[in-house]
Amino acid sequence: MYSNPLLPGQYYHLYNHAVGNENLFRQPANYQFFLDRYRSYIFPIARTYAYCLMPNHFHLLVQIREEAELINHNRQLKKRPSEQKDSLLDVSSFVMQQFSNFFNSYAKAFNRRFDRKGALFLDYLRRKPVETEAYFTTLMVYIHRNPIHHGFCQNVNDWVYSSLHSISSSKSTRLERNAVLDWFGGVEPYLAFHEQNCIIPTDEDWEFGD
């Protein structure tokens, strides 16, 4: 599971945890910085349908962008205006490198802020392909209800560090709001589905129990 490539066009459940008893987020500003870094590193390579950040772990529901988009973004990063060397690009490795750069950027800033050393995240980004419509729907709700599952809040609307609020609001967002609301049939059905469904997946792959 850990070494499987992230393929263009594929939907994934991505999740990871802090090392040991460490937290990924100690202050509200840490959550915002994580999202700021996410916008820089991940939005150009993946469409984001849901996320939830909790003190010691996070969950994402994303679709890796198509190969042409990834190649174009790589050109921009490398400042290559032409098609030179495009044929040599391993797009899956490029995607994983962007995730690695994202986590490293956050971890370095976190370590400086709190005068700590060493790894912050577990070694591997956990990933599970989302291959059915039922799993996509269930996963959306699972991700947003995860803080309830872990006792961080009692109501899905109470947790501010998730995509639930951005998807259901009218404020500008780079999340896939239109696609999500079309899927559920609008804002009201979207929110109602979260209130009525308490499905918690039990996949053995989610080995850190989150």
- Composition of the chain by helix, strand, coil, percent to 5: 45, 15, 40
pTM summary value? 0.90
Residue 98 lies in a domain: yes
Looking at the structure of the chain, the number of domains it has is 1
What mean pLDDT is predicted for residues 198-202?
53
Catalogue the E-assigned strands of 43-193: 46-54, 57-64, 126-129
Residue 185 lies in a domain: yes
- Between residues 149 and 33, the one the model is more confident about: 33
Local structure of residue 66 (DSSP, 8 states): P
99-118 pLDDT tens trace: 999 999 999 999 999 999 99
Residue 39 lies in a domain: yes
Whole domain around residue 87: which residue ranges?
A: 11-196
What does the pLDDT read at residue 57? 96
What mean pLDDT is predicted for residues 62-69?
96
Residue 151 lies in a domain: yes
CATH code where residue 25 lies: 3.30.70.1290
